[in-house]
Amino acid sequence: MTKKWTPASAADGVEQVLKILEGKWKLVILFHLFGGQVKRFSELEKAIPAITQKMLIQQLRQMEADGIVTRTIYHQVPPKVEYRLTDWGQELCPALDALLKWAENQK
């Protein structure tokens, strides 16, 4: 069972964890890595045209540090780096899916 539901405890406990999702592009990136998708850096760049390289890396690195994405480096020329969700990251799916439904429901 989850702990007893009180607004205060919910707000307090969640507040920190939600920081993981903070950042202009985090959720957008997440949607592109859903369902076990594996994407190269350049693929993410193309998929999100409005983002700059700096922002893309920055957000990816933070997500990596927070343990929701994995970075796989292939030492070859030219370089190849793949990103995918960690198990912990995958567990976000239900939540993001619910958000997606909500978003679609608006139109």
Partner DNA sequence: CAGAATCCTGGAAGATACTG
Partner DNA sequence: CAGTATCTTCCAGGATTCTG
Cα angle 45, 107, 26 (rounded to 5 degrees) comes to 30
Nearer Cβ to its own copies (37/72)? 37
CB 53, min distance to its own copies, A: 18
Nearer Cβ to DNA (10/57)? 57
Helices and strands, counts by H and E, the chain: 6, 3
Looking only at residues 40 through 79 of this chain, which bind DNA when binding is defined by CB under 7 A? 40-43, 50-55, 57, 59-61, 71, 73, 78-79
